Structure 1
Amino acid sequence: MRSGQDLTFSADDTQLTPAQAAKILGMSRGHLYKLLDSGIIPSTHVGRDRRLKLSEVGEYAKSRQRDQALLAERFAHADRDRQRLLRSLLDS
Structure 2
Amino acid sequence: MEGKRTQRPRLVGPKGETLELPEPVFHLLRQIVTVLARGDAVTVVPVHKELTSQQAADLLNVSRQYLVRLLDEGAIPYTKTGKHRRIRINDLLAYKQKRDAEREAALDELAQMSQDVGGYSECG
The amino acid across from 2:104 in the alignment is A
SS in 2 for 1:50: strand
Identify the residue that residue 76 of structure 1 maps to in structure 2: 111
Q: Judging by fraction of residues, say which structure has more helix.
A: 1
The amino acid across from 1:45 in the alignment is K
Q: CA deviation at 1:83?
A: 1.8
Identify the residue that residue 43 of structure 1 maps to in structure 2: 78
Query: Matched residues in 1 for 2:110 and 2:44: separation?
Result: 30
Query: Matched residues in 2 for 1:40 and 1:19: separation?
Result: 16
Identify the residue that residue 92 of structure 2 maps to in structure 1: 57
Structure 1 unaligned blocks of 5 or more: 85-92
Based on CA coordinates, which of the two structures has the bigger radius of gyration?
Answer: 2
Contact 1:44–1:50 (Cα < 8 Å) also in 2? yes
Identify the residue that residue 31 of structure 1 maps to in structure 2: 66
Is 1:16 aligned to residue 51 of structure 2? yes
In the superposition, the TM-score normalised over structure 2's length comes to: 0.58
Q: CA deviation at 1:12?
A: 2.5
Aligned residues: 79
Contact 1:9–1:55 (Cα < 8 Å) also in 2? no
Structure 2 unaligned blocks of 5 or more: 1-39, 120-124
